Chain A
Amino acid sequence: MTSTADRKGAPSYTSENYSSAKYKVVGTRPIRHDGLDKVTGRAKYGADVSMSGLLHGKLLRSPHAHAKILSIDTSEALKLEGVKAVVTSQDLPIVADQLIDLAEVMANPRVMAENILAGAKVLYKGHAIAAVAAMSPHVAEEAVGRIKVEYEVLPPLLDVREAMKDDAPLLHDGLTTRNTAERFGKGTDTGVKSNIASHIQFKRGDVEQGFKDAHVIVEREYNTKGVHQGYLEPQSSTVNWAPDGHITVWTSTQGHFGVRAQTAAVLAVPEHMVKVVPMEIGGGFGGKIPVYLDPVCALLSKKTGKPVKIVLTRKEVFEGTGPTSGTFMRVKFGADKNGLITAVELFLAYEAGAFPGSPVGAGANTSLAPYKIDNLLIDGYDVTVNKPKVQAYRAPGSPQAAFAVETALDVLADELGMDPMDLRLKNASKEGDRQPSGVPLPSVGCVEVEQAMKEHDHYKTPLKGPNRGRGVAMGYWGNGGMQSSATLTVNSNGTVAVVTGSVDIGGTRPAVAMQAAEVLGISAEDMRPSVGDTDSVGWTGVTGGSRTAFSTGIAAITAAEDIKDRMIARAALVWEVKPEDVSFRDGVFTNGKNSEERLTFKELAGKLMATGGPISASAASNPRQVGPGVCGNIVDVEVDPDTGKVTILRYTVVEDVGQAAHPSYVEGQMQGGAVQGIGWALNEEYFFTDDGAMQNSSFLDYRMPTSLDLPMIDTVLVEVPNPGHPFGLRGVGEVSIVPPMAAISNAISHALGVRVDRLPMSPGVILEAMEAGKGGK
């Protein structure tokens, strides 16, 4: 284990799990290959695209949260000088219902089309209706203001529990509830018309008996608000629809192969007619998996014969993209005198937004996965409401449910008079224990992480002072696998080009290239990693699901093994021996028949043209054993009793990372997830009027954490190797956002002696809780 606190010197202590010493490149901290471009302003992001003849687009968005569209009149917009084209949903082909797997979420192209440009109805304020292409963004904006839309305004449904009622007005006339027992399963159609798109249920053991056996029962209700991914770079797209039908898309996305599939499906063109060029991406967190703009730009380009670019404003990002689900949740824990959990009931109602597809299934499975529970009943509901359609947000679905579960567990520890870490260790899941879904856990680091937390200096140091409290919480995320492709080419000077299909959001170029370098016995600096477009590298899933360093890493390792074998064959040619007579170690080829004869990787690379030509190798990954992630937080807070403001005093993130490829960027994922969680816990929320209008659609009013709000975020990297990866890597990106809300809630309650049952725990909410606490307890 290593801690950032000790990073300047040697790690303060080393556990036997800390295996970086085993590797020469993996586990080191080289400078990232794309760093220079990104610190000098040369890196090209989606909005930086320009080309000759470029037109600029703007979208018209609904001012109503729920309304029928009676008519759209674009004639005045088209009369404006400089306006070249207008498109509406009439320009989209009607596509049939089908499901596309986008890794973190399933998507239906028909629904995507309706979300991209509204047809008969608008379902949230900000729902796009029409788009204009013009000579400049200013002209396009002016033209958008000239489009006349007649609406029949309908009452909006904004509360998840109201929307679930039998007599609630319906968002979608044709929507019926499906019963499903697996996350991506289609389930059986109940035929019941409802705003509830699906009901997922996990059931095990005898819950009734479990509660009868309990010594202590804790039952609590929780509410959370929708929050946005908050990436700093607004969505953008530039598309050219060539006269021969080929469509080229330049965009900022987490997965260009997904953009290709979605764009082709929505436009009803064959996938091979769409080429997607991934630009650098300014953050995604799940929110840049779905397409919003690419099909619209394509239609405008087709109409005008010119490339068309649209860049969203921040207000449009808030109102028209993301966010994640607001929720209502109920949890009931039973435990015996020793703290062994005897039964759990969990009720989860997640807002899907305007169209079905909340991540409630993941919430249902992951929040209780860190614990071995024999008797459980989990019900999850995916509910449509008149808000933007929710999208994946870092460990989608898990943070909300974990807020409920981990806060209730803390109440349980209080009632049992037990140390909260002891309670968790007592019930900790191990490999082979079944998750709520029934699937047994693979190698998992619950015990190791919890042990590391309990033994950490932060946990052992008493917290003193008034209005201060400490909280802990755990998080679990299954992580993604999916397929990736990589192509490696040996340059004549012994450097190696690495082309993958994984866009690099947070340092995956070095993380992947370092794994190939480890195999080839060369340095990280000898690798030249880049991201290929959809025509120049094999199919690769999204950068999401914490899968990239893991799965694309496996593709790169496999290709590097192939390179190694081919290089060995060349060395054999040079020495006129058989390949099996050549050994390869630490970047040096040695002739087994004459150990005086040696060639470094670089020396042999210089001989490739004379021994049969250049060497390159491609490989794809299809990992079977994905290593789940476990993360725990320890946090100290101080609450100002007069204002209700919460200050974070100290924060420690402990995570099982399997094997850190590049520890600095692993720490960065842990710190970044923790701070997004701090924002979710204390400040961030979609604040709606009764009419369904978001009132805080700017960074001034949607308050994300700033540097001033935070201390340093200490990290502890626990390394329980994942047997499903050659070097033991696990996904590290997402799980860090799961524990913060509960950890902070628990810390606040220990500071005040009052429980807070909703998010965000903003100053007003804290003051209310304190007031209620005075009367109640």
Chain B
Amino acid sequence: MVRKVHIHTNINDGDVEFLCEERQSLLEVLRDVVGLTGTKEGCNDGNCGACSVILDGRLVDSCLVLGVEAEGKEITTIEGIASVDGLHPIQQAFLEEAALQCGICTPGFIVAAKALLDREPEADEARIRHWLAGNLCRCTGYDKIIRAVMKAGETVQGGAR
């Protein structure tokens, strides 16, 4: 058996411990060890963004992070975007704007959009297109995704006032 490492981390505002092999990516750990399958694998080499998570406030491709690197870190996955009070404005906007078709890229887009709007809710279309260029979608042509993120930005700004 391959030796496993004991990791202490915080996922979606809860303390989580897990055992993982040193070769396992954070993506693999989230999906196969912790059981959070909302984070998706599209390429496993950092080129599609389907596995986007927020790690200590930074947007990362979880396929490019090792599970052991999560030690002492805070991680937000798609499962941690909504709260007990309801959906995040980005999630709501994705539904209202029909910004998903097959839905496999959706978790990555929502996590990536949250990482942007947390800091720049006023982001305009050009900024959003630039920020989301690391997330591939093959179904929508991005039009409705961009509209949804713009709409969510307006909602976030409205709520802050």
Contacts and interface: CB of A to CB of B under 8 A. Distances in A.
A707 B103 contact: no
Contact of A44 (B32, B37, B42): B37
A675 B95 contact: no
Interface residues of B, number: 59
Contact of A38 (B23, B35, B106, B143): B106
B21 interface: yes
Given A232-B105, A674-B141, A698-B45, A41 B95 contact: no
Interface string A657-692: 000001011011101111110000000000000000
Contact of B95 (A35, A42, A676): A35
Contact of B141 (A44, A232, A314, A713): A713
Given A44-B37, A506-B102, A704-B138, A713 B42 contact: no
Interface string A42-70: 11110110100000000000000000000
Contacts of B55: none
Contacts of B97: 664
A507 B50 CA distance: 20
Contact of B139 (A32, A234, A283): A283
A38 B103 contact: yes
Interface stretch (B65-73, B128-136, B153-161): B128-136
B104 interface: yes
Nearest to B80: A41
A90 interface: no
Contact of A31 (B77, B96, B128): B96
A671 B44 contact: no
B47 A45 contact: no
Contacts of B40: 45, 47, 232-233, 282
Contact of A668 (B50, B79, B101): B101
B127 to A, nearest CB: 11
B85 to A, nearest CB: 14
A233 B98 contact: no
A617 interface: no
B38 A699 contact: no
A476 interface: no
A135 to B, nearest CB: 9
Nearest to B132: A707
Interface string A285-306: 1000000000000000000000
Interface in A224-273: 229-234
Interface residues on A, range: 35 or more
A710 to B, nearest CB: 6
B39 A41 contact: yes
Nearest to B111: A41
Interface in B76-114: 77-79, 81-82, 87, 91, 94-98, 100-107, 110
A507 B43 contact: no
B138 A712 contact: no
Contacts of A507: 98, 101
B94 A39 contact: yes
Contacts of A662: 98
Interface in B1-59: 2, 21, 23, 31-32, 35-45, 47-48, 50
A704 B136 contact: yes
A58 to B, nearest CB: 13
B75 interface: no
Contact of B130 (A43, A229, A283, A708): A708
B138 A39 contact: no
Nearest to A506: B101
A232 B42 contact: yes
A4 to B, nearest CB: 7
Contacts of A313: 44
B100 A35 contact: yes
A671 B79 contact: no
Nearest to A736: B141
A29 interface: yes
B43 A699 contact: yes
Nearest to B46: A700
A42 B104 contact: no
Nearest to A708: B133
B124 to A, nearest CB: 13
A149 interface: no
Contacts of B47: 698-700
Looking at B106, B135, B143, which has the most chain A CB atoms within 10 Å of its CB? B143
A96 interface: no
Given A314-B45, A710-B141, A713-B143, A39 B100 contact: yes
Given A44-B37, A668-B98, A707-B133, A138 B23 contact: yes
Contacts of A234: 41-42
Interface in A607-657: none
A230 B137 CA distance: 9
Given A282-B102, A699-B47, A706-B133, A47 B41 contact: yes
A512 to B, nearest CB: 15
B117 interface: no
Contacts of B115: none
Contacts of B101: 283, 505-507, 665, 668-669, 672
Contacts of A285: 138
Contacts of B139: 283, 505-506, 668, 672
Contact of A672 (B2, B32, B132, B141): B141
A40 interface: yes
Interface of B: 2, 21, 23, 31-32, 35-45, 47-48, 50, 77-79, 81-82, 87, 91, 94-98, 100-107, 110, 128-130, 132-147
The 9 closest A-B pairs by CB, nearest first: A41-B38, A282-B104, A675-B141, A664-B98, A38-B103, A41-B78, A671-B141, A699-B47, A506-B101
Interface of A: 4, 29, 31-32, 34-36, 38-45, 47-48, 50, 138, 229-234, 280-285, 311, 313-314, 505-507, 662, 664-665, 667-669, 671-676, 698-700, 704-708, 710, 712-713
Given A40-B79, A707-B145, 18 more contacts: A29-B98, A42-B38, A44-B37, A232-B50, A232-B102, A232-B137, A233-B40, A233-B42, A233-B104, A505-B101, A662-B98, A668-B98, A672-B101, A675-B141, A699-B42, A706-B134, A707-B129, A707-B132
9 contacts: A29-B98, A39-B106, A44-B37, A311-B41, A672-B138, A675-B142, A707-B128, A707-B132, A712-B143
